[in-house]
Amino acid sequence: MPPKRPDFYAMLGLLRSATQEEIKRAYYKIAKRLHPDTNQAPGETELFLEVQQAYQVLSDPARRSAYDATLGPEEMTLPEVVEKRILLSRKEIARLPESQLLYVLVDVLPTEQQKQALSGVPLNLCLVLDCSTSMKGERLDTVKASAVQIIRQLKPQDIFSVIAFNDRAEVIIPATRHQGNTHRLETRIQMLQTGGGTEIFKGLQAGFDEIRRYANPNTVSHIILLTDGRTYGDEPQCYELAKQSAEAGIGISGLGIGSGWNDIFLDQLVSYTGGTAMYVSQPKDIERLLNEKFANLTQIFAENVVLDFQSTPGVSVSYAFRLQPETAPLNKQSPIPLGPILRDWPLSVLMEFLIQPVSAGQDEVELINGKLEIASAALQTAFTSVPVRLTVPVKDTISPEPPPASLVQALSKLTLYRLQEKARAEVESGNYEKATQHLQKMATHLLAQGERSMAKTIMLEIENIEREKKFSESGDKQIKYGTRALLLPGERKR
């Protein structure tokens, strides 16, 4: 029997109807992750050469036509890998002379067939640990103990590395598989010492260099940054590195310890890869949050789902927020990194659309026309991107109809978080009275929900704003990340 011909389309995750632009994009996306200059994982060089051959054939119209002539009938759809559930706050909108808001709740989850086929996926994990002087004492001791716990949970196929940084970076544990030899690794962790300042870019760069050695489509690659301080002057470099990480399929998450770190910076940094930033109010919380993050990484079905769409005239995304599996505000401009899908927890995103006045001859408004790009080491088969097209009919008169209950619930939860965002903006603008009004409204809602501790924190912060004309560093983060935690389903609240 002659050897089976390679399926060049399947290698690139494409149907035979793919355009030259789609072929080019698919190739570059895969090639960035497999190129031998950055990927030293066994077997990946051979796979890169096969993908390169597929691109050389399919990108040449004459060679592609000859290749297509050798193929049998095409199965017009590759296997379904995810299902999406979409709810709109209104099934139709009225033709009005003013702008309107419309809300969309999107859930993306693996199909039952894919969930049953899932097997353990190797982790490629790097801890980037702040060892500056401010980490001395309980903070660093707890970080060490937590890192040791992670080491003891690693599977033989997992790849692990550790970077320590202050105003320079040092590779404490190089990226490699450590099959059962944990004592040596634990010893290296226990020898960590503090000193110097905080330069996050140096730590991230060293972590990126280690993790990309084994970053490939068959592993879940993730950097976890732990820091308690602010970096100065290198923020743009950190952002560029995060963009490179996203292109290489490497996620970044951050744990900010105490109140001295820059939450705006960390939120923006992790957003490029669909990661999440977490607030550690007390050193004792480091262990719990790091273990939760590690557990989520072991349950990943898709590392980062990206919504790529064309902008529609007269329609814009005015707000986007990930509700689960890890809460976080999202970027509003396409492409939007939405974040991960876990095996048993869907990716749930709430989007707010601003629709400009609709013209007389327009019968529908297109909200989105694009696709979901899914990177998944758990999948054992090629798959196409998932098309997403959302439209809403336009009517001269509409019958009032209540929105879906689950969307109303999501909106009501998000209201508290958005109130604190508004309070922040008002303080920055010097509108202290409006800021305290937003916070008072938050406190009232929280008391009604039985969240007395958070309500008390907010009331204390109101007094601080009235006195100091600004948020306190600790109160600001407690309110911001505390209200994020309230958005999670009950059993997943921290």
pLDDT at 33: 66
Give residue-wise pLDDT tens across range 368-383. Answer: 988 888 877 776 555 5
Characterize 412-441 residue by residue with b for buried, 16 or more Cβ atoms within 10 angstroms of its Cβ, and e for exposed: ebbebbbbbebbbebbeeeebeebbbbbeb
Same domain, 245 and 278: yes
CB 328 within 8 A of CB 277: yes
Give the tokens for residue 311: 């902008």
**Domain containing 390 — which CATH number?**
2.60.40.1510
Determine the average pLDDT of the residues in 183-191. Answer: 91
Regarding whether 134 and 100 lie in a shared domain, the answer is: no
**Could you tell me if 273 and 325 lie in one domain?**
no
Pair 169, 130: CB distance under 8 Å: no
The answer to whether position 446 is within a domain reads yes
37: nearest Cα among 251, 215, 221, 219 = 215
Note whether 367 and 452 are same-domain residues: no
* Residue with tokens 């039952």, as numbered in its chain: 112
Here the CATH number for the domain that contains residue 29 is 1.10.287.110
Please indicate, yes or no, whether residues 197 and 247 belong to a single structural domain of this protein: yes
| Strand-pair category, 159-165 with 93-94 | unpaired
Kindly list the distances between the CA atom of residue 292 and the CA atoms of 278, 361, 493, in Å, as whole numbers in the listed order: 11, 52, 11
- Tell whether 52 and 97 lie within a shared domain: no
Distance CA 467, CA 460 (A): 11
- Reference 279, options 291, 295, 266, 294; nearest CA is 266
Domain membership flag for residue 377: no
Mean residue pLDDT across the chain = 87
| DSSP alpha helix (H) spans, 318-449 | 405-428, 432-448
Asked if residue 38 is part of any domain, the answer here is yes
Of residues 42 and 212, more confidently modeled: 212
Q: What is the CA radius of gyration of the chain?
A: 24
pLDDT in tens, 397-435: 888 888 999 899 889 889 999 999 999 999 999 999 999
* pLDDT per residue as tens digits for the range 3-32: 456 678 777 767 677 788 878 877 877 776
Q: Note whether residue 255 is domain-resident.
A: yes
> What secondary structure letter does DSSP report for 34?
H
Distance CA 390, CA 365 (A): 9
50 and 199 in a common domain: no
213 in the same domain as 185: yes
Contact 297, 123 (CB under 8 A): yes
Rounded to whole angstroms, the Cα distance separating 479 from 477 reads 5
* Residue 286 falls inside a structural domain: yes
Over 80: is that where the pLDDT of 258 sits?
Answer: yes
Q: Which domain holds residue 232?
A: 123-298
Strand (E) or helix (H) holding 145: helix 138-153
Q: Is 396 exposed, middle or buried (0-12, 13-18, 19+ CB in 10 A)?
A: exposed
Residues 224 and 98 in one domain: no
- Tell me whether residue 199 is in a domain: yes
What the block records as the tokens of 68 is 């297509």
Residue given tokens 């937590």 in the structure block: 146
Residues 158 and 219 occupy one common structural domain? yes
Q: What is the pTM of this model?
A: 0.85
For the stretch 80-123, pLDDT in tens is 778 889 999 999 999 988 999 999 999 999 888 777 666 678 89
pLDDT digits (tens, 9 = 90+) for 291-347: 999 999 998 888 889 998 888 899 999 999 999 999 999 999 989 999 999 988 899
Q: CA-to-CA distance for 341 and 362, rounded, in angstroms?
A: 36
Per-residue confidence band for 75, with pLDDT thresholds at 50, 70 and 90: very low
Cα-Cα end-to-end distance for the chain? 58
Does the residue 74 lie in any domain? Answer: no
What is the reported pLDDT for 183?
Answer: 87
Residue 117 domain flag: no
The total of other beta-carbon atoms located within 10 Å of residue 31's CB is: 13
Residue-wise pLDDT tens digits, 308-324? 888 889 999 999 999 99
Q: What angle do CA 41, 60, 78 make, to 5 degrees?
A: 60
- The continuous run of DSSP H or E covering 225 comes out as strand 220-227
87: amino acid identity, one letter: L
Buried b / exposed e along 187-214 (16+ C-beta atoms within 10 A): eebeebebeeebbbbbbbbbbbbbbbbb
CA atoms of 137 and 143, how far apart (whole Å): 10
Same domain, 54 and 165: no
Please name which of 173, 176, 218 lies closest in space to residue 191, comparing C-alpha atoms: 173
Are 148 and 243 within one domain? Answer: yes
Residue 255: which CATH number?
3.40.50.410
Count of domains forming the chain: 4
